[in-house]
Amino acid sequence: MIERIGQRTLRFVGRPALLAHAAAVGRKEGAGPLGAQFDYVAENDRMGQKTWELAESELQKTAIRTALRKAGLRNGDLDCILAGDLLDQCIGSFLASMQSDVPYLGQYGACSTMAQGLALGACLVEGGAARRLVAAASSHFCSAERQYRFPLAYGGQRTPTAQWTATAAGAVVLGAADERPIRVTHALFGKMVELGVTDANNMGAAMAPAAFDTLTALLDDLHAQPRDFDCIVTGDLGHVGADILLTLLRGQGIDLSPVYSDCGSLLFGDEQDAHAGGSGCGCSAAVLCGPLLRDMAAGKLDRLVFAGTGAMMSPTSVQQGQPIAGVCHAVVLERSA
């Protein structure tokens, strides 16, 4: 059963369970501070494929396959796959699952896609529409860079606010309640929030107001304080966006800092030249499905808010001068003893 709490929060009474999770990342991500906590680190970001798009799809396929193996399940046990990525027509995702023989529902929430899929997936499991499903998302620096910015070989300069698209993928297997300890307890679907940002090299600023909107609504609905959670993590605000979010919240008398992290800020070390931090659908997907869920499984985190952030834009919309809207979907994960 799904209950509505307050204005916008959904509560999953049956607490859909995370049956397994897996993260697969590229070489640079594997060399970062979280490297040891991913299930798979590519030796070569080409993943043995002929194109970067196929490499991304292979990375997502690796995350899904690994999560299924960890859950002791096969494709045939799934009722559907919810997946998405940043590429035109979400090619990374549909190629990853094209031969899976599992019903497929493509999702597009920009970099918030993992959170969107996880929240929707919890609705489907809790509502009885699916017994077991996979939610997955991916991004790849090389496929994204040439699509959104410059040809790879061009070696364009990056601005200080620019973020580095993660070569990464994450997948979770969700299912109806059993003895598994990690559960999805709440979700809140985000609104697009647009405050006039048009700089595609400053996504953090475009997304922070959406994260503010979603997190204040969630805390309000739950009558909760940040301290009620062990960790509240945004998807890929990066250093710039994270600062804006903390400032906006402070203006409302909310101090998020004691429990706050951002996947984009966590993924790369300062020496890795990732400027304002990691980004891309795969950034939050891999940090959730790698280190964060490992920490939950190990009992280091009991209550986590995963607030996936996305910037609604396309190379065309930016070139046509359209503003960039942020969106942020939140999922609350809890570990039972």
**Using rule CB under 8 A, residue 88 touches a copy of itself:** yes
d(C-alpha 183, C-alpha 160), whole Å: 38
Closest CA to 289 of 38, 51, 115, 7: 38
- Per DSSP, 111 falls in state B
Specify the stretch interacting with a copy of itself by CB under 8 A; choose among 120-128, 153-161, 231-239, 285-293. Answer: 120-128
User: Residue 120 interacts with a copy of itself (CB under 8 A)?
Assistant: yes
**Buried/exposed code over 16-50 (b: 16+ C-beta within 10 A; e: otherwise):** bbbbbbbbbbbebbbebebbebbbbbbeebbbebe
Q: Which of residues 105, 224, 254, 297 is near a copy of itself by CB under 8 A?
A: 105
Q: Would you say 143 and 56 are in contact if contact means Cβ atoms under 8 Å apart?
A: yes
Binding of a copy of itself by 199 (CB under 8 A): no
Q: Which residue has the tokens 């919890």?
A: 122
Q: Which is nearer to a copy of itself, 34 or 210 (CB)?
A: 210
Q: Which residue, 13 or 36, has its beta carbon nearer to a copy of itself?
A: 13
CA distances to 10, 43, 89 from 27, rounded to whole Å, are 38, 6, 26
Which listed range, 175-183, 190-198, 224-232, 251-259, lies at the site for a copy of itself (CB under 8 A)? 190-198
Closest CB 313 distance from a copy of itself, rounded Å: 7
**Residue appearing with tokens 């922070």:** 208
Q: Which two tokens stand for residue 324?
A: 């960039």
Q: Is 5 in the site for a copy of itself (CB under 8 A)?
A: no
Interaction between residue 1 and a copy of itself (CB under 8 A): yes
90 binds a copy of itself (CB under 8 A): yes
**Interface residues toward a copy of itself, by CB under 8 A:** 1-4, 8, 10, 50-51, 53-54, 79-80, 84, 86-91, 94-95, 97-110, 116, 120, 123-124, 126-129, 131, 188-192, 194, 312-317, 320, 322-323, 325, 327
